[in-house]
Amino acid sequence: MTVELVVGLMAEAIKVTLLVAAPVLIVSLVVGVAISLFQAVTQIQEMTLVFVPKIVAVLVVLVAALPWMLSLLMTFTHNLFVNIPSYIH
């Protein structure tokens, strides 16, 4: 294995990780900001008010994006396994 190959594999792994995590993180961020704005406008400072909408939004995104996430991960893993002979020499 050459250094370029390892760097390429790691870059691809990081890209796949970011793509899989992005939908959940982005929705969580948007919902958190929206709830924070709502709390600032209404002056309701209840700490638990943030968690329930975030959990519901994250679960909805996970259900909606799970087939795409699994497809992406399976494609990456399949490509790794198929290319094992080329990694050896």
| pLDDT tens, residue order, the chain (89 aa) | 789 999 999 999 999 999 999 999 999 999 999 999 998 898 888 888 888 999 999 999 999 999 999 999 999 999 999 999 988 87
Q: What is the pTM of this model?
A: 0.81
Q: How far is CA 8 from CA 12, 68, 81, 88, 89, in A?
A: 6, 23, 15, 15, 16
User: Using CA atoms, how far apart are residues 49 and 54, in angstroms rounded to an integer?
Assistant: 9
